[in-house]
Amino acid sequence: MPVLAPPEVPVLPSPDELRTLQRRTLTVVVASQVLGGAGLAAGVTVGALLAQDMLGTDRLAGVPTMLFTLGSALAAFLVGRITQRAGRRVGLGLGFAAGGLGAVGVVVAAALGAVPLLLVSLFVYGAGTSTNLQARYAGTDLAAPDRRATAASVAMVSTTLGAVAGPNLVEPLGGLATSLGLPALAGPFLLAAVAFLAAGGTLFALLRPDPFLVAKALARADVTEPGGPDDASPRTARRVPAGVVVGATVMVLTQIAMVAIMTMTPVHMRGHGHDLSDVGLVIGIHVAAMFLPSLVTGVLVDKVGRLPMAVASGVTLLLAGITGAVAPGDSMALLVLSLALLGLGWNFGLIAGTALIVDATTPATRARTQGTVDVLIALAGAGGGAMSGVVMAGSSYATLALGGGVLSLLLIPVLFLTRRPSRASA
């Protein structure tokens, strides 16, 4: 029986059709990211506060971040494997659906005061946050090598609208939840449930033909001899390209620093008399800085280079940590500046690291490798979230902020150890 091409790719596209498909792919990804951004903001903004109320202690306030980042790690692994076999449409659609169900579970747990259900649901909710991040890769599948960072940045910047709106809707969503007989802090998770499910439905219905399956088909067609770009001998398959190692290191270190500081900022602010609207404003600006500069960052990563922008990430995160450490607890201006720098440094690192990963892989292993790297990112976030509460309870927010900033400087020696990571074009 002859081997058939995937149904979404009956005929290999011409160059003009490929450009049209890339534009369509980015349009669908943008729509899904606007929705997904609103969903991920719930856990960032009120997850720690909800746990603080239900668990009755500040020491465990970092547990929600740990749980949904652990859940995102499992989801990243599964979405990467599913995508490698069935394409972005199926992998991302299922990931967002799981995140939406997790958000529903958080709302039910808050209504019942059921701590075990809350912990399980936060774990499942993490699938949505991981999938929202993995969607950036869909924009790079059909992009030219010198446009990959820019393509990833288009997916990321579109997250801004939903991600910034989410934290600033904390109070009205809290009012809605209260009117429904739910705890006020469950309100943002109502939005997350709708947003994640809608994002998954958009991708599953509209991401046709699937860009990853098209990229795989094009790579197979380009292979004319053994050792070509999509050839995967056992020896080659076992070798981890230097670009993957460097890209993963950049994203892991930036994730630890960002998550550790971000997680405890709402708790720190509430301890100094700030209300939920203040918390929402600071986190909203932080999330805007994570995603809004992406278009400029993507161009810089493509034009200036992956490694210089990764160094810029480490320096910016250090400035964020120093600012947070010296900021008085009642200073909104310095807290806003610190969290804005924190988001910007993370943005530099994520886009530079993403481009390094795509450069160093081929479609034969790309989605699987991307999923594995995002597992490491999620586990790094889980560790940062879990330890943040312990560090702050045992010392201070200033110590936590400064420690996160100093940690980010480890990027620089790692990058100089590998000045020229291997590239692979697809």
What's the pLDDT at 211?
Answer: 93
> In sequence order, what DSSP letters do the residues of 81-142 get, joined into one string?
HHHHHH-HHHHHHHHHHHHHHHHHHHHHHHHHT-HHHHHHHHHHHHHHHHHHHHGGGGGGTT
What's the rounded Cα separation, in Å, for the pair 181 and 143? 48
Question: Are the CB atoms for 232 and 223 separated by under 8 Å?
Answer: no
Question: Are the CB atoms for 333 and 282 separated by under 8 Å?
Answer: no
CATH code of 18-220+240-417, in short, is: 1.20.1250.20
What's the pLDDT at 79?
Answer: 94
With a cut of 70, list the residues of the chain below it in pLDDT: 1-11, 41-45, 57-62, 65, 163-164, 166-168, 223-239, 417-426
What's the pLDDT at 61?
Answer: 63
CB atoms inside a 10 Å sphere around CB 420: 9
What's the rounded Cα separation, in Å, for the pair 29 and 32? 5
What's the pLDDT at 337?
Answer: 95
Nearest residue to 43 (alpha-carbon basis) of 201, 294, 255, 266: 266
148-157 and 294-303 are packed helices; what angle lies between their axes, rounded to 10 degrees? 170
Q: Which residue type is seen at 386?
A: A
What's the pLDDT at 383?
Answer: 83
Q: State pLDDT tens for residues 205-214.
A: 999 899 999 9
Q: How far is CA 140 from CA 104, 213, 355, in A?
A: 32, 13, 9
pTM: 0.79
> What residue has token string 């292993």?
365
What's the pLDDT at 230?
Answer: 44
What's the pLDDT at 300?
Answer: 96
H or E element: which one contains 15?
A: helix 15-55
What's the pLDDT at 424?
Answer: 42
Residue 152 has, within 13 A of its CA and on its CB side, a CA count of 28
Cis peptide bond N-terminal to 209, omega within 30: yes
